[in-house]
Amino acid sequence: MAASIIDGKAVAARVRAEVATEVERFVAEFGRAPGLATILVGDDPASAVYVNGKQKASAEVGIQGFDHRLPADASEDEVIALIERLNADDDVSGILCQLPVPDHMDGVKLTGLIDPYKDVDGLTPLSAGYLALGREGLRPSTPEGVMILLDEAGAQLEGAEAVVIGRSNLFGKPMAQLLLKSNATVTTCHSRTRDLPGVCRRADVLIAAVGRARMVKADWVKPGAIVIDVGTNRLEDGLSGDVAFDEVSDVASAITPVPGGVGPMTIACLLRNTVKAARLAAHSGATV
Ligand code: NAP
């Protein structure tokens, strides 16, 4: 069986077009655009590429960008002062602190200082708590993007066996929560999981977010499963996911490619969150 390819680029383009329309509506209503502030500390080239991409994508849909860059030797107090300033700035609807931050800073602490109503990365304790409680809120962009791709692939999540490999705060945990909210039976795997291939073979929906190139092989996959590859591994021959794409494509019913699968959805959902946060702020008394 040749799996159908889930085209993340095309779906992300659609989401971005919807966001652009939402931004136009917002501007017509409130006379200003939603604003996204990014904070980049240090000179990690990969982080700079991510932040540049987020700022560029924001501008393309009409979101106002506030691009803050601090040197690698900036103090944690300087970053805290910046976050506090952005929290108080009405032109800033969403704040994103690009991780990782330099070693002398605590990324979890810094993220936690972002106003939860501006938490477009969905990583503050309040956002994580609302998700765990099954309440509305700002969700982390990558798992939110995966849910859209699953819908696109026609996944019937109710009662389905879903397996997530990876338990990071950024992706694995919120992904499992979103699947649970959709009534899937969810198993989360990690580096101590016994018989990982055997657990994966149970999955109707298999999601890999590990950071190990081509780890998931064809014989880990149940015939007809939907496979979502979140991994981004930079190899000498280019970007690779966590799934051995060529062989798994022969077994799965649908699969995301790397690049062009989950990656484009992350930025699209970040933009969507920014407009959502702007609307929340514009309606006083609204709660996430
Ligand atoms: P992370 O924080 O490093 O988490 C990796 C997870 O994989 C951990 O839970 C770890 O288990 C688990 N793991 C490691 N080795 C394993 C093994 N041999 N067997 C089973 N599980 C194993 O990474 P992350 O931030 O979640 O990201 C994961 C991957 O997704 C990376 O490649 C990252 O670049 C990519 N990513 C892509 C996007 C995107 O927009 N496309 C967004 C986010 C992440 P333990 O908890 O036991 O250590």
Query: Ligand 1 mean position to 181 CA, how many Å?
Result: 22
SS3 11: helix
Contact 252, 224 (CB under 8 A): yes
Residues 153 and 260 in one domain: yes
Domain assignment of residue 9, yes or no: no
Domain assignment of residue 200, yes or no: yes
Query: Ligand 1 mean position to 108 CA, how many Å?
Result: 17
Residues 63 and 154 in one domain: no
CATH number of the domain bearing residue 147: 3.40.50.720
pLDDT at 274 (0 to 100): 98
CA angle 277, 270, 42 (to 5 degrees): 110
Residues 156 and 105 in one domain: no
Residue 91 clears pLDDT 80, i.e. is over it: yes
Residues 145 and 247 in one domain: yes
User: Range of 202's domain?
Assistant: 141-264
Domain assignment of residue 220, yes or no: yes
Residues 96 and 171 in one domain: no
pLDDT at 284 (0 to 100): 57
Kindly give the residue spans of alpha helices, DSSP state H, lying in the chain: 8-30, 45-60, 76-88, 107-112, 125-133, 141-152, 172-181, 196-200, 245-248, 262-282
Residue 285 clears pLDDT 60, i.e. is over it: no
Residue with tokens 């917002």: 26
pLDDT tens for each residue of 250-269: 999 999 999 999 999 999 99
Domain assignment of residue 249, yes or no: yes
Give residue ranges with CB within 6 A of ligand 1.
142, 165-168, 170-172, 189-193, 196, 209-212, 230-233, 262-263, 266
pLDDT at 288 (0 to 100): 53
Residue with tokens 């972002």: 114
pLDDT at 283 (0 to 100): 74
Token representation of residue 83? 């976050």
- The rounded mean pLDDT for the chain is 96
Residues 65 and 180 in one domain: no
Tell me how far apart the alpha carbons of residues 167 and 189 are, in angstroms, rounded to a whole number. Answer: 7
Residues 87 and 182 in one domain: no
Q: Report pTM.
A: 0.96
CATH number of the domain bearing residue 99: 3.40.50.10860
SS3 197: helix
DSSP states of 124-168 as a string?
SHHHHHHHHHT---PPPHHHHHHHHHHHHTT---TT-EEEEE---
Q: Total structural domains in the chain?
A: 2
Residues 163 and 77 in one domain: no
List strands edge to edge, sheet with 35-41: 64-70, 35-41, 94-97
